[in-house]
């Protein structure tokens, strides 16, 4: 579910799992642009995380990240 609104006069969008979600994911235009610019990396992250592929440090591919 998605809701649009304003925060301090600026547009925001809230993503929610359900209508009464206590903790929606809310962001504004700048973060929305950042998400869109990195959508392919976000998709890759989701695919790797769901498959159990360990996270690696992009600057040092041999080093696994602690999370």
pLDDT in tens, 13-48: 999 999 999 999 999 999 999 999 999 999 999 999
Cβ burial of 27 (10 Å; 0-12, 13-18, 19+) is: middle
Confidence of residue 61 (pLDDT cuts 50, 70, 90): low
Q: Quote the DSSP letter at residue 53.
A: P
Radius of gyration of the chain measured on its C-alpha atoms: 16
Residue-level pLDDT at 59: 72
Q: What is the pTM of this model?
A: 0.71
């Amino acid at each position: 579910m998605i809701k649009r609104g304003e925060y301090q006069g600026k547009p925001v969008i809230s993503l929610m799992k359900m209508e009464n979600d206590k903790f929606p994911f809310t962001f504004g235009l700048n973060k929305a642009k950042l998400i869109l610019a990195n959508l392919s990396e976000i998709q890759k992250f989701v695919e790797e995380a769901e498959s159990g592929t360990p996270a690696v440090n992009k600057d040092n591919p041999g080093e696994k990240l602690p999370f």
